[in-house]
A and B are shown apart, each in its own frame.
Chain A
Amino acid sequence: KAGVTQTPRYLIKTRGQQVTLSCSPISGHRSVSWYQQTPGQGLQFLFEYFSETQRNKGNFPGRFSGRQFSNSRSEMNVSTLELGDSALYLCASSFQGFADTQYFGPGTRLTVL
C-alpha cells in the first residue's frame, strides 16, 4: 500500500497570507489527523477528520481549519499567517481514529517571513 502523502513539501509565505496544505491518507483509512511540530512544543494536535466530519479538535485558534473529502483526502488551511506558524505540519492517517496507531506523512515545512 502507498503511504501517506503530503503536498507541498516546503512552503515559504509572508505574514498575513493564507496557505492550504493537502494530505492523502493510506487507502482504506478514514481518519486523518493534523499536527503541528515545533522544536519547543513538540507534536501538537490540530484536529481529526473522520468520514468528512471533524471529530476532534485541539487548542488552536480558528485561523486553523480543515476539511475532508469523500475520498478521505484532507486539506488544512491557515489564514492570516503569523511568524509563529512556522513549523512542520504533519498529517497522519489511521483506520479507526486519531488515538490509534498513526501513520504519518512526510510533512510540509512552512516558513512564515
Chain B
Amino acid sequence: GQNIDQPTEMTATEGAIVQINCTYQTSGFNGLFWYQQHAGEAPTFLSYNVLDGLEEKGRFSSFLSRSKGYSYLLLKELQMKDSASYLCAVRDGLAGNNRKLIWGLGTSLAVNP
C-alpha cells in the first residue's frame, strides 16, 4: 500500500537544531516534498528531493534515502517563527496522469524560548 509516517508533535528550543523525519511506502516513488504550514495559513513549499542526498537551503535542509524510504527535514538555528506544521508529501507514479501526491498528516513543531 501507500503510506507516509511522520511524528505528530515535536518541541525544540530557540537556537537549537531539530530533525523531522518522514518514512514512506509507495509503489512508484518519484519525488518528495516538504511544506510548512503556520496555524490558520496555507502550506508553503520548502523543498523537493528526488535523488538521494542532502539539499540545503539556508537554515533548512532536506535529506532523502530512496533505498530506505526515508527523508528528514533539518531546521537549524531555530526561531520562534519556525513554530508550524511540517508536511511531507510523496509523488508516486511515473510521468503523466498516473502520478499522484500522497500527503503525510504533518508534524506540529513548537519552538520554545
Contacts and interface: CB of A to CB of B under 8 A. Distances in A.
Nearest to A106: B42
A56 B100 contact: yes
Interface in A7-66: 41-45, 55-56
B42 A56 contact: no
Interface size bracket, A side: 20 to 34
Contact of B48 (A41, A101, A103): A101
A101 B43 CA distance: 11
Prevailing SS type, chain A contact patch:
loop
Interface size bracket, B side: 20 to 34
Contacts of A98: 100-101
A104 B43 contact: yes
A23 to B, nearest CB: 11
List of 8 A-B pairs having minimum Cβ-Cβ separation, nearest first: A104-B42, A99-B99, A42-B105, A43-B103, A99-B91, A104-B43, A99-B101, A106-B42
Interface of A: 4, 41-45, 55-56, 90, 97-107
